[in-house]
Amino acid sequence: MHHHNHYYGQAHILARYAGLEYDQPPRLRGYLQHGWNIGCGWNPVHEFYDGAWRFTWSDAPRRRGHALGRRNYHSIGAPFLYLLDLVPPPEPEPEREGTLWFLFHGWEGGKIQGDHQRLIDEIRETETGPVTFSLYYTEYDRPEVRSYYEDAGFRVVSFGRRGFSYEGTDRQFLHKQLAELRKHKRVAANRLSTAIFYGIAAGCEPAVYGDPMEMAGENPLFGGQSRIERLWPELLGKSIDLEAARATTDLELGKDWMMPAAELRMLFDWRERV
């Protein structure tokens, strides 16, 4: 099982949905897409073992992968959608307020660079309610970045670490993110990203605006920002048509590709042995 499958506790969510142990999910014989992707489901230089299955959220990454000559794809829907089923909202659902704002983030191998003060000014001009600012752990752990948003008076949160080589994974990452999304009326970011789709699926009104910033070593192979602007214009701006956003979210998260528990167990070879 590739350690990427554990990122954000995604394999754990699928195991729980399939009726198996959450803390120790069985081995998943293949590669599980762990974030929204404008390519074939993974970064352009990801290495794959020959013959392994590639489990994507939706059909679009499979089609792009086939165009690149890759095979063994199977679309299953995003684990976040299964989490929505596993953890329904409270009844009655409390009134939502404010905006949960996600900064475009780097990773262990690349830091972001941009005009944070300019972004803060634009957020203040745009958002009418309280703002909770979400930083990925790679930025949260950089005081020079975190202090910008704390000093601006925003409530700053981080949902934990994705882990590496099975160590340090916060298995509650997506649980905490979902709980925070359900408190807010809006979800926003300075780039179209996984969090925006999660927010829409969780009932938020979306917005994508502000300095998109740059990341050191960012690979332009899939087309980057200019390609996103061409293919997903309905999800860019400070005020977005909610019906169109929900339709695109269902496609990108693979709502129609979700499987019942028994089918997941069969696909992943998680069936009981006699």
Q: How many CA atoms are closer than 13 Å to the CA of 171, on its beta-carbon side?
A: 13
Using CA atoms, how far apart are residues 185 and 137, in angstroms rounded to an integer?
Answer: 24
Q: Is residue 93 part of a domain?
A: no
**pTM (2 decimals)?**
0.94
Same domain, 162 and 44: no
Same domain, 30 and 153: no
Which domain CATH number covers 137?
Answer: 3.40.50
Same domain, 30 and 122: no
Q: Is residue 92 part of a domain?
A: no
Q: Is residue 106 part of a domain?
A: yes
Q: Is residue 94 part of a domain?
A: no
Contact 122/153 with Cβ under 8 angstroms? Answer: no
Per-position pLDDT tens, the chain of length 274: 678 888 999 999 999 999 998 888 998 889 999 999 898 888 777 777 777 899 999 999 999 989 988 889 999 999 999 999 999 998 898 899 999 999 997 555 557 778 999 999 999 999 999 999 999 998 899 898 899 999 999 999 999 998 877 778 899 999 999 999 999 999 999 999 999 999 999 999 999 999 888 776 666 666 678 889 999 999 999 999 999 999 999 999 999 999 999 999 999 999 764 4
Q: Which residues contact 206 (CB under 8 A, 6 or more apart)?
A: 186, 187, 188, 196, 199, 200, 235, 240, 242, 245
Same domain, 69 and 115: no
Using CA atoms, how far apart are residues 268 and 30, in angstroms rounded to an integer?
Answer: 9
pLDDT of residue 272: 66
Same domain, 51 and 112: no
Same domain, 109 and 23: no
pLDDT of residue 12: 95
Parallel, antiparallel, or unpaired: how do β-strands 112-113 and 214-215 relate? antiparallel
Q: In angstroms, how far is CA 63 from the centroid of its own chain? A: 20
pLDDT of residue 231: 94
Same domain, 11 and 105: no
Q: Is residue 193 part of a domain?
A: yes
Same domain, 14 and 111: no
pLDDT of residue 274: 40
Same domain, 217 and 157: yes
Same domain, 120 and 130: yes
Using alpha carbons, select from 107, 111, 108, 127 the residue that is nearest to residue 119: 127
Residue 9 structural domain: 3-87+254-267
Same domain, 130 and 242: yes
Q: Is residue 122 part of a domain?
A: yes
Same domain, 203 and 106: yes
Q: Is residue 7 part of a domain?
A: yes
Looking at the structure of the chain, the number of domains it has is 2
Q: Is residue 273 part of a domain?
A: no
